[in-house]
Amino acid sequence: MRKGILLLSVLMAAGWARLALGCTNILVTKGASADGSVIISYSVDGEFHPVLRAIPAADHKPGDTYEIKDWHGAVRATIPQVPHTYAVCGIMNEHQLAIGETTFDGRLELRDTREGISYWPLMEITLQRARTAREAIKVMTDLVAQYGYASTGETFSIADPNEAWILEMIGRGDGVKGALWVAERVPDGMIAAHANKSRIGSFPLHEPDTCLYSPDVIDFAVAKGYYNPKADGPFRFCDAYCPATPEKLRYTSTRVWSIFRRAAPSLNLSMDRSRGAKGAEPYPLWIKADTKLSVQDVMALMRDHYEGTPLDMTKGIDAGPFGSPLRARPITFTLDGTAYAWERPISTQQTGCSYVAEMRSFLPDPVGGVLWYGVDDTYTSCYFPLYAGITAVPPSFARGSLHRFSWDSAWWVFNVVANYAQLKFSYMVKDIVKVQQELEGNFFALQPAVEKTAAEMLKTDPARARRFLTDYSVSSGEQVYARWKDLAETLFTKYNDGYVQDDKGEAQELGYPEEWLRDVVKARPEQFKLPAQSSAQSPKSY
C-alpha cells in the first residue's frame, strides 16, 4: 500500500488556531455580477507566511492513500485515494471550482480534538476530487461523516461557474464521527457575506435543489439542549450552534454590515445588530446589490476600514497623527475595570493572503477561472491573475518563512511596505495605492486579449494554451513582486528620518496635522509651550 501526504497549496507556518483568527468572504452569483461571473472572495487572516503552491492533476493506483497530519506531525486521518485527482492552485481547481471559509468557534465542546479532518485539508481534498459546488458539498460531508471533523465551526463559500453555496459545519464532539451541517444555495441575483459567525438561520427542510443538511441537525441540538422547539420558535442553525454575544457580533457582524451597506446603500441597514443592541434583527443571509458587481468592485469591498461611517478607523486619536486604520492586537482590552474593543475591519494587517475567485461559464475552464491573488493587508496589497489552467506559480510567492526575513519572498516585501507606511500612513498610502492601481489596471486591461489568445489556442493545442496561461500568470506575479521591491526602496528614500522629499528630492518638514497637535497640547498643555516672546519657527540648525 502506497501512502502520500496531502500537500497544501498554501502552507501555513503556524498552527490551525492562529490561522483561524478571522477571515472574511463575499459571494456574488451570476445574476449579481456585471459580466455573468460567479465571484467569491477570501481573506486568510492570521499569523502565518503563505506559500503558494500548484498541485498537478494525478492518477493513482488502487491502495494509494493520503495521510493527513496536523502541524505537529500527528496523523489525523488516513484516506483512500481516488483514481484521479484534479489540478489545484490556491483555492481553485482546473474545473473552476473554488472554496473559501471563515471560522466560527460556536460550541467548542463539539470539536473533536483527537482525530478527524480539519477545515483546510478538507478544502484541499475536495478541490482535488470535485468538479462542481454540489459535488464539493457531497465530498466534504461524506469525508467528515467517515473520518470526523477536527475544527470548531466553519462557514464555507463554495462556488463554480454556475452556482454559489454557503455550507456551515460543526463537529459532534471528541471521538464522535461526522458533523452537523447545513448548505444553502445563494439565489441567483443575490450576494452574500460571512465573517467568523455562523450565518444560516432557519432553512427549508424539503427543497433539496436549494438546501441540503445533515439528517439529525435539529434532533442533535434538541438532545444537547441547544434548542427547545416549544420555546425557541423555528429552528435556526446559527442560534443553536453559534450563539451570539455582543463581543462576537461586534467582531463579526460589523464586517458583514459594511459589505452590505456599501453594496446596497438603498437598504440603509442599521448598525444596531453589529453593536449587539438588544432585539436588533440579524442581517439577511443574502441581499440584492444596488448595481451589479465586477471583480474590481469585490476587491474594493475587501479594502475597507469603515471609511465614511461613525466607525471610520482612519479618524480619531486612536488613528495616530497620520490616520492609520490599523490597531495593535489584542483587539479587546480592559482599563480601570471597564472592557473595551477596537473595531475589527475587513482589511487588516493580520491578513496572510487573500483571493478573489472569478468563475465564468461562458469560457472554457482553463481560461474561465481566474484566481486573483494577493498577500498581506488587502488595502495595500496588489492582486494579479492566476488562471485555472496553469501548471506553475510565481517563484517569489512560493518561498519564504515567517521566522526569517528575505527580500526573495514577495510576502516579506509586501510586509516591509505595509509596515513602513505606518510611520506616515496618510502620505505613504497614496504612493502605495498609485502603484497598486496601475498594476491592477494593466492586468484588467490585458485580460480580454490574453483570454482571446488562450481560447483560440485551446481549440488546436491545449498544452500550448496552458503554457501560455502559465507564463502570463507567473510573469504577472513576478512583475508585482519586482515593482513592490522598487516601491519599498522608493518609500525608504522619500520618507526618511521624518522628512518628505518633494519632486526635486528636497527634504521637507511637514510636521503633524493640526487636529492631532490640539489633542497633544490638550493632554499636556504646559510641557510644549514656549515662552511668550519665543518664535514657533524651527531652528535653522539640524
pLDDT tens digit string along 57-107?
999 999 999 988 877 778 888 999 999 999 999 999 999 999 999 999 899
Query: In the prediction, which pLDDT does 3 show?
Result: 43
At residue 253, the 3 state secondary structure works out as: helix
Give every residue of the chain whose pLDDT is below 70, as ranges: 1-21, 533-542
At residue 98, the 3 state secondary structure works out as: strand
Distance in angstroms (rounded) separating the CA atoms of residues 380 and 435? 10
Residue 89's closest CA among 482, 473, 462, 480? Answer: 473
Query: In the prediction, which pLDDT does 350 show?
Result: 93
Quote the cell numbers at residue 152.
Answer: 470548531
Distance in angstroms (rounded) separating the CA atoms of residues 177 and 180? 10
Query: In the prediction, which pLDDT does 268 show?
Result: 96
At residue 93, the 3 state secondary structure works out as: strand
Query: In the prediction, which pLDDT does 186 show?
Result: 98
Distance in angstroms (rounded) separating the CA atoms of residues 495 and 420? 9
Query: What DSSP string runs through 458-518?
Result: HHH-HHHHHHHHHHHHHHHHHHHHHHHHHHHHHHHHHS-TT-EE-TTS-EE-----HHHHH
Query: In the prediction, which pLDDT does 114 show?
Result: 83
- Which residues are registered as beta bridge partners of 293? 33
Query: What DSSP string runs through 390-452?
Result: -S---GGGS--BTTB--TT-HHHHHHHHHHHGGGGHHHHHHHHHHHHHHHHHHHHHHHHHHHH
Order of strands, sheet of 3-5, starting from the edge strand that comes earlier in the sequence = 3-5, 65-69, 75-80
Residue 352's closest CA among 7, 21, 93? Answer: 21
Residue 508's closest CA among 443, 418, 427, 434? Answer: 427
- Chain segment 33-53, per-residue pLDDT in tens: 999 999 999 999 998 999 999
Query: In the prediction, which pLDDT does 536 show?
Result: 59
At residue 261, the 3 state secondary structure works out as: helix
Domain ranges of the chain: 3-304, 363-495
